[in-house]
Structure 1
Amino acid sequence: MRRVNGLAVLGRAVAGIGGATGGAQRRLLHSQILTSCSHSSPLWFTQPLLDRFGQSRSSRAQGFEATMHFSVSATSLAQDIQAAKEKFQPKDVVLYQYEACPFCNKVKAFLDYYNVQYKVVEVNPINKKEIKWSDYKKVPILKVDGEHMVDSSDIIAKLYQKINPENSASKNEEEKNWCRWVDDHLVHVLSPNIYRTTSEALESFDYITTHGNFSFSERIIGKYAGAAAMYFVSKKLKKKHNITDERAALYEAAETWVDALKGRQFLGGLNPNLADLAVFGVLRPIRHLKSGRDMVENTRIGEWYARMESAVGESARI
């Protein structure tokens, strides 16, 4: 309790640098943590393993088969992306986002995978001046040739329909169910983990404020006051979602996802489907935080994640 109180006091002391303005910013910051990412999630205000082939005849045969399988998969992926580019060639795509928002990262994973080039506007979570033009005050917001899209799942559904107009209704029940699982379960497990301790909360907000659109004073206030606020908020979320052990819940979610693959490279088979992209997008911001490192070290999700990094490839951001 002493460490928590110390952190809260430090946050108040730093926030006090800005006087009354700092206090207003702190209150706004806390408010935005709770309300400004799509699905009203407070998570983020809150970002290849190769098989070792043996030397026996059967191992060499398996290695050759695996190489051929990978070649076919890579060719199919290239054809998939090329076909998408030919069908959907927007001239101007702009994503209004927070860098660490899981729902924004869902959209970016989709855009990156389909190689849809996009620009990014980082929204200041305190004043939101970058989206004052919009009646919708959460992120992500995507502009595609002047058309405004909101809510990560709706954005992805509309983009998928544009890319695959003849197969827009082809998403199977398995894929639909796992897409819902991401929004209804996985994201709720993450917040209690990334803000589990005061040190992890500080690590998370160091990442958030470094990558976000903050002035120097907002960055200092955000890191300490935000970390203190979200440490306590995460405890309420833990209770709300009936989580007794944060790490155990995270590991269970990761293992649940790997079990869902049923030995496949991806849930979509040879190539990722929308559920693969959703899980990958949500997890990407935490991959190199302590919670993400622990998850990869203590579950089987690492190999799938590495395959996803390879499949999604370089960012299509311009």
Structure 2
Amino acid sequence: MRRVSGLATISRAVPGAFATPAAASATHHRLVQAAVTSASSSHLFSQMIGGDRSAVAAPPAPYGFAGTVFFSAASSSLPQEAPPAEKLLPKDVVLYQYEACPFCNKVKAFLDYYNIPYKVVEVNPINKKEIKWSDYKKVPILNVDGEQMVDSSDIINKLVQRIDPGYPTSDADEESKWRGWVDNHLVHVLSPNIYRSPSEALESFDYITTHGNFSFMERLVAKYAGAAAMYFVSKKLKKKHSITDERAALYDAAETWVDALKGREYLGDSKPNLADLAVFGVLRPIRNLKSGQDMVEQTRIGGWYSRMEGAVGKPSAIKA
């Protein structure tokens, strides 16, 4: 895991298009300040994958299932020391999540990489009693020092702006392009692969037996009813997104990402950027499932994924 002491500052080589003789001057260091710190089943999918704005929305599912920055090179010359990290770091961070939710895992990858301590509360996907206090009924929900944040990309943007108020917010750069690709494409090929067969659907719900303070009956219902519902949802999503071969679509997405690296260790060059963290985050919950194993074996993504595992480390959350 990337350990940070004080306000983390990542030194990166600025792409040639932005380089000037003045920028190369020894008196102006290029730095990027990074944060340290079957017909109604689609709604179930939108809930189970996290309910971000890019998720599929449809009427409630049966049986009460509620649904299951390129840092922009942001190089700047700093004439003085940055503010003390303790003035910027969140003090109390709690993530309300589904363990297998790709959007929730995207947020966790960010928190883990920047070594921001946080607690997790596993939400029951059936009754969602753990978030009854909130008007927002999807996950992830992140409470940061008493402030509620929702939608994974918005959460990450707010955390970056909190730590570095001058962080660029352009939607036109390489990093933003690939962050959008994660939300608008990559996540849509995951469900048809994760729930491709009844056995794979059940495998994906095994987490429910070990996460959360659920009763035996709640675990049983969530695992089997959830797996059955998601199996049928995946077939609808496959048709919706014109996927004819689930694995081929997954492999193509993995290869597309590797091509985007253009031989670099990460999209962010020598260090992961927010796009790297987003791709890694949504893929992390499937890595040890059959779909994830097949992806690593059949594509070139394994090298990058292993580097990301080393950079991000294991999830460091404490169960609340």
With normalisation by structure 2, the TM-score equals 0.74
Q: Sort the Cα spacing of 1:247 and 1:314 in 2 relative to 1 into closer, same or farther, 3 A.
A: closer
- 1:164 CA drift (Å): 2.0
Q: Sort the Cα spacing of 1:42 and 1:199 in 2 relative to 1 into closer, same or farther, 3 A.
A: farther
Identical pairs, percent = 74
**Contact 1:95-1:121 within 8 A present in 2 as well:** yes
- 1:220 CA drift (Å): 1.6
**Contact 2:105-2:284 within 8 A present in 1 as well:** yes
The match for 1:281 is 281
2: CA distance between counterparts of 1:38 and 1:123? Answer: 13
1: CA distance between counterparts of 2:93 and 2:250? Answer: 34
The match for 1:205 is 205
2: CA distance between counterparts of 1:278 and 1:38? Answer: 16
- 1:125 CA drift (Å): 1.7
- 1:194 CA drift (Å): 0.6
The amino acid across from 1:93 in the alignment is V
Higher helix residue share: 1
The amino acid across from 2:194 in the alignment is I
Gaps of 5+ in 2: 1-39, 58-66, 69-81
2: CA distance between counterparts of 1:31 and 1:174? Answer: 32
The match for 2:185 is 185
**Contact 1:29-1:125 within 8 A present in 2 as well:** no
2: CA distance between counterparts of 1:83 and 1:111? Answer: 20
Matched, 1:233 2:245: no
2: CA distance between counterparts of 1:165 and 1:260? Answer: 28
The match for 2:139 is 139
Q: Sort the Cα spacing of 1:307 and 1:249 in 2 relative to 1 into closer, same or farther, 3 A.
A: same
- 1:87 CA drift (Å): 5.7
Q: Larger Cα Rg: Structure 1 or Structure 2?
A: 1
Matched, 1:243 2:255: no
The match for 2:216 is 216
- More deviation in 230-239 or 199-208? 199-208
**Contact 1:84-1:114 within 8 A present in 2 as well:** no
CA shift digits 1:233-261 (9 cap, x unpaired): 11111000000000000000000000000
Task: Report 1 or 2 for greater relative contact order, CA contacts < 8 Å, sequence distance ≥ 6.
Answer: 1
The match for 2:51 is 38
Q: Sort the Cα spacing of 1:316 and 1:210 in 2 relative to 1 into closer, same or farther, 3 A.
A: closer
CA shift digits 1:262-308 (9 cap, x unpaired): 00000000100000000000000000000000000000101100100
Three-state SS of the structure 2 residue aligned to 1:117 is coil
**Contact 1:29-1:226 within 8 A present in 2 as well:** no
Correspondence list, 1:59-208, <5 A: 85=85, 88-169=88-169, 173-208=173-208
2: CA distance between counterparts of 1:307 and 1:223? Answer: 32
1: CA distance between counterparts of 2:257 and 2:83? Answer: 29
The amino acid across from 2:109 in the alignment is A
The match for 1:59 is none
Gaps of 5+ in 1: 1-27, 47-81
Q: Segments of 4+ in structure 1 off by > 3 A?
A: 28-36, 40-43, 82-87, 168-172
**Contact 2:195-2:231 within 8 A present in 1 as well:** yes
Three-state SS of the structure 1 residue aligned to 2:187 is helix
- More deviation in 223-232 or 212-221? 212-221
- 1:90 CA drift (Å): 1.8
- 1:35 CA drift (Å): 3.3
Correspondence list, 1:259-270, <5 A: 259-270=259-270
**RMSD of aligned residue pairs (Cα, Å):** 2.5
Correspondence list, 1:246-257, <5 A: 246-257=246-257
Three-state SS of the structure 2 residue aligned to 1:38 is coil
Three-state SS of the structure 2 residue aligned to 1:91 is coil
The count of residues paired between Structure 1 and Structure 2 equals: 255
Three-state SS of the structure 1 residue aligned to 2:166 is helix
2: CA distance between counterparts of 1:221 and 1:35? Answer: 16
2: CA distance between counterparts of 1:265 and 1:183? Answer: 22
Three-state SS of the structure 2 residue aligned to 1:96 is strand
Q: Sort the Cα spacing of 1:87 and 1:176 in 2 relative to 1 into closer, same or farther, 3 A.
A: farther
